[in-house]
Structure 1
């Protein structure tokens, strides 16, 4: 039997359709002892670290140079060079200033968007509890390999795609993959090969979170081969399309360039050959005509307008990667979006407490320990309400959740 997972054309083997014993045999590992150190090292060399591949980020210099990749900008730069050659320093400075400001605005905005999108990689777990050589070890999640035996408990983030071997009251929040906020009950029984991700109850996928119970599973996929890695690959492969505004501006730039060249040529020929003017004087007149005909402020006006739209959207927590996308978004009539984590926060919040004697209202949103408890609009002291204390005590004893801040300062449950 092979000790490697099978992937064809980016698709995982249907591990969810195989019995746990068959999966262990195919991966060449034992449930109780796991892999030994030498085998784990060999597999790490073969499969690579358990990390999502870095996104294809463009170098800062290339991103800056691309801000000048516009036919209208080419015309402005040529105009500035000619104006500078004629010692018209003020005019040249104004034109170059417009071009540079336009480039800086676009460069800064796109840089912020690319940095924010890197946060997606933080969805992966940083550490994992495994069984290697019969011993329980805590290792860096990047060192996981197919065939590793991983232990999960409440609050754990699943570090790789696992085929579950043993479970105890296991529930996993798979909102990162399916958008479904309700935790899914998990087991070890194989399911139909054609089952969707949300119905594969014998699998635990990288980036999801254990909300209750314990489990033992075997790693079947790591890094880019995981389901979340496959999604990342698909997203990275999306091609950027020119927006209607970009196409219209490019067309306008070509038209005005052609118009200025024809007008300049006609003016030069008429002034020199029919008007009898010296060639140099006619040339200066043609340059002045060309510079005055170029709409120097148009690129800056468009960029500033789009940047204002981007800033307004950023206040509403909507991140725009490319400035022209704001214009395309303005033409949208219907948005199909995932609810959980997009329109909602995937944080259950209590707003009413039903007690035998009264109903209390609770303020505050999400997991942040903020807000208060009110009865008929008046704040109350929880310590002075025995039924409320009894309810809180029951809630405390029925779960093992812990509230803490993550590395970004946000309140999370573990």
Structure 2
């Protein structure tokens, strides 16, 4: 196999950056509900889940004919056009809800930052009698003045905030894809360092008494099971797997599978070390009641710490890091969502009889539709964890855990990768993740 080089390292950083986003910032809020011991158990099962599933999906793409056929083309080659449309739809809905969650997370992070960090600087007394001659005074009146006049302005303020933030994201997507990926790669370095430093900073505040608190066995297993969708979401870098696999195929040819396996292994190890240390540190530093409060506020855990801790560096740095982490991950997921949307429309056009659809028109229509949906969702402000638990995690599991394993046992060129024990583990954990939806429906 080829020696390790900068190409390989850059992809580890890109895949890591795709995974580190809203998931890691909301995972402590979900995982910590049952104490620290279920989190420790999660640390042991998530590594094989992440590595084996992403490896299988990468092989799914790598084994397709040609060096420019993404996951939607691979699905059509293996399963036929009709089945591939269903897979393309699933692929899209596995990723696009994540983009929606990120838009909500970015908006709430920014709004929380304004309310808890910026406005107190404007007026330490939080007076409601504020002149409107300045933007700061106008914003403060919206947040602190409870009169009917300003209450009607608050929805308009959120609408304006949503429009600015989501539009900024979409404008950035007009730049070169290589440039965006490069910028996101560079963002990962400070994010890694800061998240690790923050995890260390919380150590003196750890409540080690919670280690002795063990839920009853049934409750323990239920907590771990119901956290699977958020775990899958938090470690998920499948939106970048298609692009990653195609680049590895072009770079290494016949050695693509072995090289992609090696890169994904290192990525999974890196994610396990950073993500779970961060989660454990956060969970040991917050009470169950505080975790419930953070969920109710619909903000990432860094924003909650920024509002809780009496430390200016955390107060201002926490939301900034949350903003950067969610932003960098949004771009990686948006590439995957866009790829899925284009694939769905393209296949539908061909079925309708248009063998040569206008790809530029498809791109314009899909982009505009996604943009409008993101604006509306960010304004409505649904629960981010609800998105992850009910949509993102389970649908990701269907694409990431089930589809490649089915291909391994039904597609001739994939059968060389059979490993019954490991394949069973991936398939079963995928099913368990999906089945969390049925459990919630029965409550």
Q: TM class by shorter-chain length?
A: under 0.3
Report which of the two has the higher share of strand: 1
TM-score by length of 1: 0.21
Larger Rg: 1
* Structure with higher RCO (Cα < 8 A, 6+ apart): 2
TM-score by length of 2: 0.20
